[in-house]
Amino acid sequence: MGNQLIAAQEKASGVGVLEAIKGRRSIGRVKPDPVDRQIIEAILEAASWAPSHHNTQPWRFVVMTGDGRGKLGEGYARVAAAGAPDLAGEELEERLRKERLKAFRAPVVIAAICSPSDDPRAVREEELAAAQTAVQNLLLAAHAYGLGAIWRSGQPMFDPLMKEQFELKADEEIVAFIYAGYPDMTPAAPQRKSVTDKTIWLD
C-alpha cells in the first residue's frame, strides 16, 4: 500500500459526514501531482453507495488520467469546431488547442454517466437524480481523502458530439465532469442563506 493511500485513509478516517458536507468546497485549481489509483477507486466506491429508486444504480464512470484525458479534450475540440464554422486555418487550430487543454486542468478527470436501468419501474428523472447523487458522494469522499475537486458541466457536456465522443448509448447522458487532484488554492468559505428562510413546516 503506497504512502499516498495510507495518508489519505488516515485523513478520511478523521472526517465526519457533517464536516465533509460543510467543509467541502469546489476546488478549481489543483496540483499536477498524480493521484494513487486506489484513492480514485475508493472515491468511486463511495459514489456507488448513493441511493437509487428500486436500487437500479444507474451510473457508470470513465476515469481519465495522463494521456487518457485527451478523450475529453478531443470532445471539447469537436464541439468548439462545430460551433465556429467560420473559423479556419491558424485561428481555428489555436481555438482547438485551447479547447483540448481544458481536459488537462487536473490530473484526474471523471466523467459521470447516467445509464438508465431497463427495469420497467425506472423513471428517467429519478435515474438522473440518482446519478447526480452519486456525484455528490464522490465529491464528499474526495474531500475526505484530501483531494480538491470540482463538478464541471456546461453546454459542451450536453452536446451530441460529446455524447458521441464517449460512445454513449441513446438513453445515456453525461451528468458531470469531475476534475480532481491535490488542492493548489484555499477557497473562501461561501455564505449560505439560512435554511429557515427556505423551509415551511406543516404541523
Q: What was the pLDDT predicted at 17?
A: 85
Q: What was the pLDDT predicted at 6?
A: 64
- Is 53 labelled a binding residue? yes
Whether 19 has a pLDDT exceeding 80, the answer reads: yes
- Is 97 labelled a binding residue? no
In the chain, the percentage of residues whose pLDDT exceeds 90 is: 86
- Is 153 labelled a binding residue? yes
- Domains of the chain by start residue, with CATH: 17-64+105-184 (3.40.109.10)
Q: Which long-range contacts (CB under 8 A, 24 or more apart) does 183-191 make?
A: 183/27, 183/29, 183/30, 183/31, 183/147, 183/148, 184/29, 184/30, 184/31, 184/148, 185/27, 185/28, 185/29, 185/148, 187/25, 187/26, 187/27, 189/25, 190/25
Whether 13 has a pLDDT exceeding 70, the answer reads: no
Q: Cα(74)–Cα(124) distance, rounded to whole angstroms?
A: 29
How large is the average pLDDT for residues 133-150? Answer: 97
Tell me the average pLDDT of the chain.
94
- Is 49 labelled a binding residue? no
14 band by pLDDT with thresholds 50, 70 and 90: low
Whether 170 has a pLDDT exceeding 70, the answer reads: yes
| pLDDT per position as a tens digit, 100-129 | 999 999 999 999 999 999 999 999 999 999
How large is the average pLDDT for residues 174-188? Answer: 96
Kindly compute the dihedral angle of the four CA atoms of residues 49, 119, 161, 149, in this order, to the nearest 10 degrees: -10
How large is the average pLDDT for residues 17-39? Answer: 94
Residues whose CB is less than 8 angstroms from the CB of residue 96 and which lie 6 or more positions away in sequence, other chains included = 77, 80, 81
Q: Cα(188)–Cα(143) distance, rounded to whole angstroms?
A: 15
